[in-house]
Amino acid sequence: MEAPLALLVGCFFAASVYLLMSDSLIRIILGVAVLSNAINLLIFVAGRIVKEVPPIIPEGAQVPPIDTANPLPQALVLTAIVISFSFFAFLLVLIFRTYQALGTDRTDEMHVAEPKGGPVPPRGY
């Protein structure tokens, strides 16, 4: 059960690295979204996927009477989903404002600090 999910995590990481190395800001933000999903799935798979019952301890007992699922990976993934969504929303607004200010979403066309036809920056010191 865990081997196919581990392969899926590897595919997600490979796809996110490919998208992050693009020169379009839209592809970069999609790479960040895929990377956050890959990390969430990695945390979930690392906590072992089992078909056990929820970790509820009955009244009067010190420990659960049967094997239970580990709630820590589930809590970590839930927190990571919230954080990655807020980071994605921040990047989306940042890219939108960049597009409004510069008129492009291509990173090789963003030359505000070094306009074309201007002086060339020094190559060495």
**Domain for residue 27, yes or no?**
yes
Q: What is the mean pLDDT of the chain?
A: 86
**Domain for residue 19, yes or no?**
yes
Domain limits at 84?
2-51+69-103
Residue 50 pLDDT: 65
Residue 120 pLDDT: 74
**Domain for residue 108, yes or no?**
no
Q: Is the pLDDT of residue 60 over 70?
A: yes
At CA 69, angle to CA 66 and CA 72, rounded to 5?
Answer: 135
Q: CB neighbours of 54 closer than 8 A, spacing ≥ 6? A: 68, 69, 71
Overall average pLDDT of the 45-70 stretch: 76
pLDDT tens by residue, 4-44? 888 999 999 999 999 999 999 999 999 999 999 999 998 88
Residue 113 pLDDT: 66
Instruction: Output 85-90 pairs: Cβ under 8 A, ≥24 positions apart.
Output: 87/32, 87/36, 88/29, 88/32, 88/33, 88/36
**Domain for residue 61, yes or no?**
no
**Domain for residue 26, yes or no?**
yes
Q: How many structural domains does the chain have? A: 1
C-alpha distance across the termini of the chain, in Å: 56
pTM: 0.74
**Domain for residue 12, yes or no?**
yes
CATH code of residue 76:
1.10.287
Listing DSSP states for the chain in one string gives -HHHHHHHHHHHHHHHHHHHTSSBHHHHHHHHHHHHHHHHHHHHHHT----PBP--PPTT-SS-SS-B--HHHHHHHHHHHHHHHHHHHHHHHHHHHHHHHHS--BGGG--SSS-TTSPPPPS--
**Domain for residue 20, yes or no?**
yes
Residue 17 pLDDT: 97
**Domain for residue 122, yes or no?**
no
Residue 16 pLDDT: 97
